[in-house]
């Protein structure tokens, strides 16, 4: 009963010419946990509102299980939305809020009572039936909003940063519960967030958006390990981005960054000699060794530099290193307990495998 | 030390003194005087030996004419309020929800513009429309829809038309403020859960705008029952309302005591409405007090 959503070349231009969403295309599969991830103002909410039917696309089509729903009014779409601010009805009790969708579907009273009870039990709010939304904490309100949405067994669940207002602990707990719930119900879930960790942890697939466009759609692993564009590489996690001119090296194609750093590329690129190419390298893919004893350790490219700062993160250590050529690089090492930390001012040698370099589109 | 234990006057509290004085002088003093006059046999300034009396109130209660006047006044007030609400609510909703700034400005201007013209002028304008030889009757007759002119003024209907026109802006402005503060996403949430737009309005927006409906109605009702010019001109002295009666008692009969008693009736009606309003508001919003 979960549904597939196709978004085909959809744009939204607001009066005044703001192009909030620009020819977005994506296929959301039935039963999938699909995240829209991007910085503030990139068009996530607008996209979600068009799926829900609160906004009409300026062009393009939205299809639900193949049927064009672009102009179907919101109340006939059989989707349920959890709003960013919850949008609970302040004049209704918790139970009445949850019952609302069932009442609109003309479900009989006894069934409503049973379903409301079950839904509230599922979000662990049993016993709060007669409270008003204002008498609940933020986390409880959020769960009421969730219960109100899932109780109607919608074909699609739309969530607009539903965990945004929660503290870290509750947020992690709710992330887990939401994910469980979605799996158990088998519902298609479109999840909006600007928190990349949240998106990586929860999603089956992620669409990374920037300035109204979709930059990349993929699984969390693809998005993290194989970012397609500079924006994606930069937005997701910490990353080192090198820009340099395409050159021919002993090992094949490479790029020259500044005068003293040459990086071998993992595969040939279409770019001609001299053209500028960007590559990304994750901090945790870099190995660090004290300068004197390294040399032979890694088979790949290496560079020398000086530790600028050492950030102890608990499970890992993050180093900021200035290469001899002047470039700044982030390198992260697991806190494995082998040997002392490198201290600021220390000369170090960095190594990485060429395969860990990701060639980016601009 | 004796001096230091004396209660210190908060110097900020002194700042409200002028307005408090002004309020006492121009608000409570006249009302108090009116209340006193309504239970005296005459004016104490010119008649040295006045006595306490309830005869003014007794006169009202004993003569069905005066009760008639009071009920006419209330009836006109109620109808004016009701019609102003029915016309004003959709306008206010439109104004509160309109997206375009120009649209909002135009609507606001349309609502406010009539208020820039004097009440007398507007009432005369209505007379040229509503009278036997007025625009409406002439058109209907020339179209052959009616044979003789319709009685559109010099009756309660005419007064109500005039009053609605004058007081609808108060209703609209009060309602717009309240509706504008209702989160649009609440309606969208209702629609998202399967309510048609009309149903979403009935389930969400209407109950949440109840305080505005009450406040606007109270305002319009209080203004309508104390209106003087419009009932005189559009009623042509055929319809007697409390304010007209009060004016007559003072200017023609020089019966200030009776006029004061009538004034007290008007005041008590308005006052009890305000109290009822607060009570009802407490009931509908008590559930939301924690918001
Ligand atoms: N009603 C509107 N009229 C005009 N422009 C709008 C309107 N709503 C949104 N926009 C613009 O469209 C763009 C996308 O807005 P949107 O709300 O979709 O962003 P978002 O990705 O949800 O951001 P956030 O993470 O801050 O919620 C923004 O530049 C915003 O200013
Ligand atoms: Mg948003």
Is this prediction's ipTM beyond 0.85? no
> Which ligand number lies closest to the CA of residue A51?
1
CA A53 / ligand 1 centre spacing (Å): 16
Task: Judge if pTM exceeds 0.90.
Answer: no
Nearest Cβ partner of A104 from B193, B197, B208?
Answer: B193
For residue B165, name the pLDDT band (cuts at 50, 70, 90).
very high
Whole-number pLDDT of residue A298: 46
**What is the pLDDT of chain B when averaged over all its residues?**
88
- Give a three-class secondary structure readout of chain B: CHHHHCCCCCHHHHHHHHHHHHHHHHHHHHHHHHHHHCCECCCCCCCCCCCECCHHHHHHHHCHHHHHHHHHHHHHHHHHHHHHHHHHHHHHHHHHHCCCHHHHHHHHHHHHHHHHCCHHHHHHHHHHHHCCCCHHHHHHHHCCCCCCCCCCCCCHHHHHHHHHHHHHHHHHHHHHHHHHCCCHHHHHHHHHCCCCHHHHHHHHHHHHCHHHHHHHHHHHHHHHHCCCHHHHHHHCCCCCCHHHHHHHHHHCCCCHHHHHHHHHHHHHHHHHHHHHHHHHHHHHHHCCCCC
Whole-number pLDDT of residue B236: 85
For residue B286, name the pLDDT band (cuts at 50, 70, 90).
low
Do residues A252 and A330 lie in contact, with contact meaning Cβ atoms separated by under 8 Å? Answer: no
Query: B113 to chain A nearest CA, in Å?
Result: 28
Cβ distance of A132 and B195 shorter than 8 Å: no
Query: B198 to chain A nearest CA, in Å?
Result: 11
pLDDT by 10s per residue, chain A, length 362 = 678 999 999 999 988 888 999 999 999 999 999 999 999 999 999 999 999 999 999 999 999 999 999 999 999 998 999 998 899 999 999 999 999 999 999 999 999 999 999 999 888 888 999 999 999 988 889 889 989 999 998 999 999 988 876 778 878 888 888 898 899 889 999 999 988 889 999 999 999 999 999 999 999 999 999 999 999 999 998 899 998 888 887 777 888 887 778 888 888 777 777 788 899 999 999 988 887 654 544 445 678 889 999 999 888 999 999 998 888 999 999 988 777 888 899 999 888 888 889 999 87
Per residue in A185-194, pLDDT (tens digit) is: 899 999 999 8
Nearest Cβ partner of A74 from B188, B199, B204?
Answer: B188
Ligand 1 first shell, C-beta below 6 A: A 14, 16, 18, 20, 38, 40-46, 194
Return the best residue to mutate from A22, A45, A158, A159 for the ligand 1 pocket (most ligand atoms within 8 A of CB). Answer: A45
* pLDDT at residue B16 greater than cutoff 80: yes
> Which ligand number lies closest to the CA of residue A38?
1
Look at ligand 1, atom 3, and give the residue with the nearest C-alpha: A14
Per residue in A23-50, pLDDT (tens digit) is: 999 999 999 999 999 999 999 999 999 9
């Amino acid at each position: 009963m979960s549904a597939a959503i196709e978004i085909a070349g959809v744009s939204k231009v607001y009066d005044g010419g703001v192009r909030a969403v620009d020819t977005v295309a994506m296929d959301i599969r039935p039963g999938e946990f699909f995240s829209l991830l991007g910085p503030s103002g990139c068009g996530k909410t607008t996209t979600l509102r068009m799926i829900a039917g609160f906004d009409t696309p300026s062009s393009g089509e939205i299809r639900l299980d193949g049927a064009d729903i672009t102009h179907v009014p919101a109340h006939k779409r059989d989707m349920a939305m959890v709003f960013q601010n919850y949008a609970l009805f302040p004049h209704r009790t918790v139970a009445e809020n949850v019952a609302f969708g069932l009442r609109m579907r003309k479900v009989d009273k006894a069934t409503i009572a049973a379903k409301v009870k079950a839904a509230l039990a599922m979000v662990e709010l049993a016993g709060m039936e007669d409270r008003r939304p204002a008498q609940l904490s933020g986390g409880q309100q959020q769960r009421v909003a969730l219960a109100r949405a899932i109780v109607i067994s919608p074909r699609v669940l739309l969530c607009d940063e539903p965990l945004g207002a929660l503290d870290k602990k509750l947020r992690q707990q709710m992330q887990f519960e939401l994910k469980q719930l979605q799996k158990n119900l088998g519902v298609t879930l479109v999840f909006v967030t600007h928190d990349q960790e949240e998106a990586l942890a929860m999603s089956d697939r992620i669409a990374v958006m920037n300035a109204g466009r979709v930059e990349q759609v993929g699984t969390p692993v693809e998005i993290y390990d194989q970012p397609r564009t500079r924006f994606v590489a930069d937005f997701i996690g910490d990353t080192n981005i090198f820009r340099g001119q395409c050159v021919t090296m002993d090992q094949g194609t490479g790029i020259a960054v500044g005068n003293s750093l040459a990086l071998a590329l993992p595969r040939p690129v279409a770019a001609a000699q001299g053209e500028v190419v960007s590559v990304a390298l994750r901090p945790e893919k870099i190995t660090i060794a004290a300068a004197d004893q390294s040399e032979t350790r890694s088979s790949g490219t290496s560079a020398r530099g000086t530790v600028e700062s050492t950030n102890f993160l608990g499970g890992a250590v993050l180093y900021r290193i200035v290469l001899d050529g002047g470039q700044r690089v982030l390198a992260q090492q697991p806190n494995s307990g082998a040997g002392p930390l490198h201290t600021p001012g220390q000369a170090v040698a960095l190594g990485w495998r060429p395969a860990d370099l990701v060639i980016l589109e601009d | 030390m004796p001096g230091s234990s004396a209660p210190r006057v908060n110097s900020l509290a002194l700042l409200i003194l002028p307005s408090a004085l002004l309020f006492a002088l121009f608000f409570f003093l006249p009302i108090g005087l009116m209340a006193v006059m309504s239970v005296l046999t005459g004016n104490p300034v010119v008649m040295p030996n006045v006595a306490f009396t309830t005869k003014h109130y007794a006169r009202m209660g004993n003569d069905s004419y005066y009760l008639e006047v009071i009920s006419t006044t209330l009836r006109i007030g109620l109808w004016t309020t009701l019609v102003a609400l029915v016309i004003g609510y959709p306008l206010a909703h439109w104004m509160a929800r309109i997206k375009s700034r120009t649209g909002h400005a135009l609507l606001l201007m349309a609502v406010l513009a009539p208020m820039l013209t004097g009440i007398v002028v507007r009432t005369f304008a209505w007379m040229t429309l509503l009278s036997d030889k007025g625009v409406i009757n002439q058109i209907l007759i020339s179209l052959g829809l009616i044979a003789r002119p319709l009685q559109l003024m010099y009756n309660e209907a005419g007064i109500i038309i005039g009053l609605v026109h004058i007081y609808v802006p108060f209703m609209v402005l009060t309602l717009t403020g309240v509706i504008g503060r209702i989160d649009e996403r609440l309606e969208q949430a209702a629609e998202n859960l399967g309510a048609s737009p009309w149903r979403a309005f009935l389930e969400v927006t209407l109950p949440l705008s109840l305080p505005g409906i009450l406040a606007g109605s109270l305002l319009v009702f209080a203004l309508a029952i104390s209106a003087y010019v419009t009932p005189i001109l559009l009623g042509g002295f055929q319809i007697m309302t409390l304010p007209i009666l009060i004016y007559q008692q003072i200017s023609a009969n020089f019966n200030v005591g009776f006029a004061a008693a009538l004034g007290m009736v008007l005041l008590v009606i308005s006052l009890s409405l305000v109290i009822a309003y607060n009570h009802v508001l407490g009931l509908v919003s008590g559930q939301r007090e924690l918001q």
